[in-house]
Amino acid sequence: MNENINLFTPYQMGNLELPNRIIMAPLTRNRAGEGNIPHELNAEYYAQRATAGLIISEATQISPQGQGYPYTPGIHSSEQIEGWKLVTNAVHEQGGRIFLQLWHVGRISHPDLQPNGALPLAPSAIAPKGEASTYEGMKPFVTPRALETWEIPEIVEQYRQGAANALAAGFDGVEIHAANGYLIDQFLRDGTNQRTDKYGGSIENRVRLLLEVTQAITGVWDSKQVGVRLSPSGTFNDMHDSNPVETFGYAAQALNQFDLAYLHIFEATEADIRHGGTVVPTSILRQKYQGTLMVNGDYTLEKGNAVLATGEADLVAFGRLFISNPDLPRRLAINAPLNQPDPSTFYGGGEKGYTDYPTLEVQPTY
């Protein structure tokens, strides 16, 4: 127990001083400009949320092949780097800190979104159940093309370059998106990885891509400015694994070698439990992983304070509540009412449901 620690206790992360432990979770909002370039509206949205202990950006593709949804931002062109500078400058002007989330969707894409209408890439040629989001609406997923072994170093290089581009764009760090059924997660789990080379089969082999990507990125960034996100209990994007406790326990333990900023766990959702997947208790990962642990998933003020006080986690990320409450830390600090998020404006559109959620009125001091 650590009864003195709560959401408002500062946290030292490498050379970054987080003023509180209320982290803005990565949130896909599908509002990038033409060329998947961040623009002023995105800068305004992030700057409004600069009182977070740390902002983690929305998932951002590291290459054209890494895109799986319309209007998501990239970090592979010089124009995108310039666009992200608007965001990082705006957040820093407001006194905030922001990491970029590095993303490759793997099979969660569609030829409509791929260069030259090619098939999406994946560890194995296994189509996900469900439909892809395209510029023309939802279309059934196709069977992806399995990456050749010799292509995998090129993917690792795309992550390294994306991380270098994030450094050039003025971010404070990067988070490797290894969760929610995207490319790295597809390698981790045996439901999507049926490879017979050194990237498939045993758990050690399935974790190899994650470790190679982390190794490459910690060559660009101080390891204390690199986080990793995992979703051990996730069923989103048609994911499953025959033994997630072992798979993710091994992955968490293997990440100890890097002395990272944090390991970020997206915990089981109600949908995951409904789908009957194995729930991997965060307490198991806490035992395996020796560094900073961040948790995310339907936390409230009470639950967030409790998970910190029991010592089960060090940081708590909030997603939907940060969409609707740009001043979430202040509201939680004084237990003020919270704006409710509007799911119809989560993905795509403009200012509505993005930059127009109100902050609390400033109370006059006289």
- Closer residue to ligand 8OZ, CB minimum distance, 7 or 183: 183
- Which amino acid would we find at residue 143? T
- Candidates 60, 180, 192, 325; binder of ligand 8OZ (CB under 6 A) is 180
Q: Closest distance between ligand 8OZ and the C-beta of residue 28, in Å? A: 4
Mask 2-31, x = binds ligand 8OZ (CB under 6 A)? --------------------------x---
CA–CA–CA angle 79, 152, 81 (5° rounding): 10
| Start-to-end C-alpha separation, the chain | 41
Which residue, 80 or 180, is less far from ligand 8OZ as judged by CB?
A: 180
Q: How far is the CB of 248 from ligand 8OZ (least distance, A)?
A: 16
Q: Which of 98, 61, 88 is nearest to 76 (CA)?
A: 61
Task: Report how far Cα 162 is from the mean position of its chain's Cα atoms.
Answer: 14
Nearer to ligand 8OZ, 180 or 305 (CB): 180
Minimum CB distance to ligand 8OZ smaller for 155 or for 179: 179
What's 190's DSSP letter? T
Residue 136 · residue 112 · CB < 8 Å = yes
Q: Pairing relation of β-strands 173-177 and 226-230? A: parallel
Contact pattern from residue 236 through residue 265 relative to ligand 8OZ, giving x for each residue in contact according to CB under 6 A and a dash for the rest: ------------------------------
List, in sequence order, every beta strand (DSSP E) within 218-257. 226-230
Q: Is 114 left (phi over 0), alpha (psi -120 to 50) or beta?
A: beta
Confirm whether 182 is a catalytic residue: yes
Please name the helix (run of DSSP H) or strand (run of DSSP E) that holds residue 253, with its range, or none. Answer: helix 244-254
Helices (H), 10-121: 40-48, 78-93
CB of 347 to ligand 8OZ, least distance (A): 6
Q: Which is nearer to ligand 8OZ, 28 or 158 (CB)?
A: 28
Give kind and range of the element (H or E) at residue 146. Answer: strand 145-146
* Least separation in angstroms between CB 30 and ligand 8OZ: 8
**Which residues, 28 to 87, sit near ligand 8OZ by CB under 6 A?**
28, 59, 69
Q: Which of 229, 226, 213, 212 has the alpha carbon at shortest distance from 177?
A: 229
Residue ranges in 160-179 that form contacts with ligand 8OZ under rule CB under 6 A: none
- SS3 of 22, please? strand
Q: Which of 11, 45, 69, 182 is catalytic?
A: 182
Question: Of residues 289-308, which lie at the interface with ligand 8OZ (CB under 6 A)?
Answer: none
Q: Which is nearer to ligand 8OZ, 28 or 225 (CB)?
A: 28
Number of residues near ligand 8OZ (by CB under 6 A) = 4
In the bound complex, what is the minimum distance in angstroms from residue 120's beta carbon to ligand 8OZ?
A: 15
Provide the minimum distance between the beta carbon of 316 and ligand 8OZ in the complex, in angstroms, as a whole number.
Answer: 18
Distance CA 38, CA 61 (A): 12
Nearer to ligand 8OZ, 235 or 305 (CB): 235
Asked if 122 touches ligand 8OZ (CB under 6 A), the answer is no
Residue with the two structure tokens 């390991």: 263
d(CA 304, CA 296): 9
Cβ at position 363, least distance to ligand 8OZ in Å: 36
Continuous segment of H or E residues that includes residue 26: none
Q: Which residues are marked as active site?
A: 182
Task: Give the residues lining the site for ligand 8OZ (CB under 6 A).
Answer: 28, 59, 69, 180
